[in-house]
Amino acid sequence: MKQGKRNFGATDVLLLVLNAAFFIGIQSVFMPCEARPDGTWMHCHWAGQALTGVAAVLAVTALLHLVISRPQVKQGLSLAMIPLSVLAILLPGHLIELCMMETMRCHTVMKPAVTAISLLNILLAAVDVYIQGKRG
């Protein structure tokens, strides 16, 4: 592969779309529970804050993956996305407690959405590691 040539593939676009959706979604569609009536936050709020940070790092990594053309660098970025996605799965309910009631939004919306997106991210990143290995 020539050094200056752009190297866009399906996994580049899919990783960016998925991680942009994760970043936007954790702040809107599948955000954790609202504040209590007295204005204090439940545990899940902090899980949501941590997930926003992880999602931001994943989105920036996916953007870098799109704009960088060297297969070895792309492969390294994809490899970095795998443990970040595992961290995203572990944050809600494992590393940071969620609400006590299983019927709360953090259990019924946030945690399943984060798990699904993170598993897709791991799968896409693993496929991309293989693809970039063939190109490099």
Rg over alpha carbons for the chain, rounded to the nearest Å, is 17
pLDDT confidence tier of residue 8, bands split at 50, 70 and 90: confident
Task: Give the closest residue to 44 by CA, choosing from 119, 113, 95, 10.
Answer: 95
Q: Is the pLDDT of residue 30 over 80?
A: yes
Residue 72 lies in a domain: yes
Rounded (10°) CA dihedral 115, 109, 53, 28? 140
Across the chain, what does the average pLDDT equal? 94
Residue 32 lies in a domain: no
Residue 36 lies in a domain: no
**Average pLDDT value for residue range 76-97:** 98
| Block residue for tokens 């999602």 | 55
**Average pLDDT value for residue range 19-40:** 96
Q: Are 43 and 97 in contact (CB under 8 A)?
A: yes
- The domain total for the chain is 1
The domain in which residue 73 lies consists of 10-26+41-135
Residue 55 lies in a domain: yes
Residue 53 lies in a domain: yes
Residue 76 lies in a domain: yes
Distance CA 16, CA 66 (A): 7
Residue 110 lies in a domain: yes
